[in-house]
Amino acid sequence: MAVEKIIDLVGNSQESWEDAARNALSGASKSLHGITSMEIVGWTAKIEGNEIVEYRAAVKVAFVVD
């Protein structure tokens, strides 16, 4: 029987929320193995001068515990 752990992460991008989510997964995969799923929890953005300068994706990443 497999056991999974879920962690909260925030990815960011200067291009889009989709890229921010991809960056969160990319960063997680550098140190976690056996990633099974990712849930998008929320989208936020950093604003400067009435412009979006950074997109942020809050995610939950599930992975199998060895």
List own/partner pairs for 28-35 with CB under 8 A and 24 or more apart: 28/61, 28/63, 32/7, 32/61, 32/63, 33/63, 33/64, 33/66, 34/63, 34/64, 34/66, 35/61, 35/62, 35/63
pLDDT confidence band for 65 (50 / 70 / 90): very high
Mean pLDDT of the chain: 97
Give residue 48's pLDDT: 98
Mean pLDDT of 37-62: 98
Find out whether 10 and 61 touch, Cβ atoms under 8 Å.
no
Is residue 38 over pLDDT 80?
Answer: yes
Q: Write down the CATH superfamily of domain 3-65.
A: Flavin-binding protein dodecin (3.30.1660.10)
How many Cβ atoms sit within 10 Å of the Cβ of residue 26? 11
Give residue 2's pLDDT: 87
